[in-house]
Structure 1
Amino acid sequence: MNTTPTSLQPRGRMRSALTSCLKLCLLLSALVGLPSQAERLKDLASIQGVRDNPLIGYGLMVGLDGSGDQTMQTPFTTQSLNNMLGQLGVTVPPGTNMQLKNVAAVMVTASLPPFVRPGQTIDITVSSLGNAKSLRGGTLLMTPLKGSDGQVYALAQGNMVIGGAGASANGSQVKINQLSSGRIPAGAIVERAVESSLGGDGTVMLELTTSDFGTAQKAVDAINRSFGPGTAHALDARVIQVNAPPRPEDRVGFLARIENIDVAPSQAIAKVVINARTGSVVMNQTVRINDCAVAHGNLSVVINTEPVISQPGPLSGGSTVATQRSQVEVSQAGGALQIVRGGASLADVIKGLNTLGANPQDLVSILQAMKAVGALRAELEII
């Protein structure tokens, strides 16, 4: 027969979960504590000028099964439809109130990859702009996609297939996945290319993903070892200037070799990132703490409310009255001082913080206080 009190069972499960979490953290700390491995330069840096360009356009989607915009509430849908019909030679009498349910105004977005040429296709994303219930099964009409300079770089058109589904009746609604947006693979044809003068002046700029003087210097040394002294030099902690061959055909092979050079990045700065919305706490392997004493207690307020029925006596002429009775209890856990020992590795830091027995939400406040007194040897970032 199990004599364990019911109220203690959740604590036991929580203690088991914390133990498993501690074991996982220790395993991760052992892995991240290994010496940094060399990475390809293409994983640490990008080539200046080789990037995507965002495109945007406004269009209409037709062929919806009665799930389009309510034109009385979205007048821009009707205006866009009138303009399109006018371009096709169809004149709509002024003052006509079109009650259409199979048309929806949409925004079309895409990214123009580098070195793309006219005639190639790119994927597009279509999103409802009005109050359409679903874009499932719709057809996007020809929509010009413009860049930040106002020029048209692609034309989008096609049929969109959405993986979601939905149904509603008599106020009840069931919806699976997102029905108001979707993608059309190869839904746009490129009409204009973005010219790139990559290495036209005899130099190529490499930009590190993360600014770091040590990593920049190591990358310069690795390039000069492979191509000779003076080939590369760092302009700052992020940008590396490389002397490239003058001929374009030689430049391609040159950059291909540079991207595959192995570089061991410098160790990152100690940082603790706290998500204030979810209470998540993430720290890297360079975080250290000094010896400190922490007192932390939990305050809990429990309110129990139950109905109380007052029944009048027989033949008294009274009526039954229902009231609420609440019971409030306030409890505070012990907050004795706990010694948190300093550690020289992430495993030691985790052991020290787990001695407090605090949950992630409490740990956020503790880390902030430790940073304030100088016991936390790391940068504290709250996102």
Structure 2
Amino acid sequence: MNYEVKHKKVLVTGGAGFIGSNLVDSLLDNGNTVVCLDNFSTGKIENLKDAQSNPNFTLKEGDIRDRNTCMEAVEGCDYVLHQAALGSVPRSIEDPITSTEVNIIGFVNMLFAAKEAGVKRFVYAASSSTYGDHKALPKVEHVIGNSLSPYAITKYVDELFAKNFSDIYGIETVGLRYFNVFGRRQDPNGAYAAVIPKFISSLMKHESPIINGDGSNSRDFTYIDNVIQANQLAVAVPTTVFKERLKEYQNQVPGVPGISEAATISEVFNVAYGESSTLNELVNLLKEELNTFDSLIAEIPVVFGPERRGDVPHSMASIEKGKVILGYKPLCSFSLGLKRACDWYWENLN
């Protein structure tokens, strides 16, 4: 059975951002009442243009670092989808203080507010950066390495707090470790822009995309529709079903920590497509897709720059845990996602 969130009240933090705004639209389409909390440090009001015409949508401008703001935003909500964070490994290296304040203090504020409000389940954006220097592929949720950046540390600390709150206070928490999400509304501009929109924007302007390193680094690129599905499932799978499937997964996979009958749900899941592509392969595929709009793009050369500090060389996820417990099955392949992304950027950036 494929579970969805319907006719509930849901708070989406960071709801004006790339992932958050797509979640907002999906929830509204399912007849939910949605509250969006965002301070617009990285989110954009134009991402909410469709939502703002819906009577079931409320926008609250505020910062998760303010506890009272969090308490007000979550009042009366059944669920929280916590997407608010300061992303980017390079940003966290340049300014670890702000990343820590937002990603840890803000996270705990929101988690505490959800507990106080009696929220049924708290689903939050975790990160594949948590795997750090662990080299084995594919990445499985219960095996991680040493963190390689302040950002990675903040996201792992969030997981620890979520588990602790579940153990102490009984609030159900689910972390979704996103792997290189891309798609419509992802900002191609700025120093910390993600690689796919940045490459698309460069190619559309007939500028050479800049690859950090020799292009052999690989990523498990994940289209936004797969992330929406994972969030819906993470909220909607009933507790009894969740625990039954968790036991099934534990019986299948050696070394997975057990859960007692009375234990409160607190799990993390990889959200990915389950395959990897190198940055060189990515650029070639983007050229092929964009060539249908502009034949000159195929001839644009690539520029190779230095490796970035804190980057993980290779990343590919096992999505078996999500399949077994959540019923997660990626809706969109990497190649189809690239096509949809290129179509969207061509229509919206030109």
Task: Give yes or no for TM over 0.5.
Answer: no
- Relative to its length, the structure with more strand (as a share) is 1
User: TM-score scaled to structure 2, two decimals?
Assistant: 0.16
Question: TM-score if structure 1 supplies the norm length?
Answer: 0.15
Greater relative contact order: 1 or 2 (C-alpha under 8 angstroms, separation 6 or more)? 2
Which protein is bigger by CA-based radius of gyration?
1
